[in-house]
Amino acid sequence: MLDYNVCKNWVFPDIAVDYTERDTMLYALGLGMGIDPMDEGALRFVYEKNLQAVPTMATAMGTPGIWWRDPRTGADAVKLVHGEQDVRLLKPLPVKGSLISRNRVLSLTDKGAGKGAIAVVLRTLLDAASGETVAESRNVTFLRGDGGFSEQGGVSDPGPAPLPAVPERPADLEVSYDVRPEAALVYRLSGDANPLHADPEIARKAGFDRPILHGLCTYGMAARGVIQHVLGWDASRLRRLAVRFTSPVWPGETVRYEFWREGDTVLRLRASVDARQVVVLNNGIVEIA
C-alpha cells in the first residue's frame, strides 16, 4: 500500500539538463513540425536559422523517471496513469543551455478504497547560471491501485482543483494534424523511452493492440497549433498550457484540436480523434501574452 510519509517527503536529487539546438529541433520534429519543408514558419523550429524552442519541451526536461516503481513508495506503479499536465513559462525557453531541474511532491490525495489516489508533482526548471526560474511543470498522476492508503496513517491532502470544462458553444478555431506512423519513435528520442510507445509486445501486455503515442506528444501538438494559428509562429508568447488526458492516441491517426477564445490572453482547448469518436485531451487552458 502507498506510504504517504515516504512519498510526500521523497527526496529528488537535482538534475542537470544540458541541451543543444539539436535537441530543440528533434523535439519539434517529434511533434510533426517540418512535415512541409516549404513551411517557413515551422522551419523556425527545425532548422538552426532563426531557431525557436517549442515551450512545451520543458515537459521533457529533467524528469525524475518512474520513481513510483521504487518499492519504498508502496505504490502499484503498473496501474498509474498520467492524468493532467500543466506547464507555465516564466520566460522564453532558450534554444540551448544548461538548466537545473528540481522535483517535489506537492500533494497526495486518497480517493478511497477502490477509487485510487491522486499525486501532484511539481518540477521547476532553473537557469543554471543565474538561478532564475524558466518554467514550472505540474504533473498530476492517477494512482488507480492505491486508494485507501489514509486508512492506516489517517493522512490525505486536499485534491488539486479540477480544470474547468470547455465552453458548450462551437469552437472559434479548429486545427487538425495527422500523426505520422513513426511519430512515437521520433518523440521518444526527446527523453521518454517507455517501451509502451515502441515495443509491440509491451503494448499488448498493457492491453493495446500496438504502441501508443506519448500523451505529452499529443500535448505538444496542441502547443504547435497555438503557435502556428494563434501566435503567428512566435513561441515566446506562450505562457501556459494545461490539459487533462482522457484517451490515448495511436500513430497514424488524425487529431482535431478545438480552441475557444476567452479574452485576449486565454483560450480553452479540447482535442479529439473523430475516427474513433473519442476525446483525447480535455478541459485545456492556454495562456498567451
Q: Which residues are catalytic?
A: 192, 197, 212, 215
Start-to-end CA distance of the chain, whole Å, equals 44
- Taking CA atoms, 1 is separated from 74, 117, 147, 177, in Å, by 5, 11, 9, 41
Pure H helices in the chain: 4-8, 21-30, 40-46, 150-153, 183-187, 200-205, 215-229
Closest by alpha carbon to 194, among 172, 180, 207, 211?
Answer: 211
In the DSSP assignment, the letter for residue 40 is H
What angle in degrees, to the nearest 10, is found between the helix axes of 215-229 and 21-30? 100
Q: Show the cell assigned to 217.
A: 506528444
Residues 6+ apart with CB under 8 A from 15: 62, 63, 64, 100, 101, 102, 103
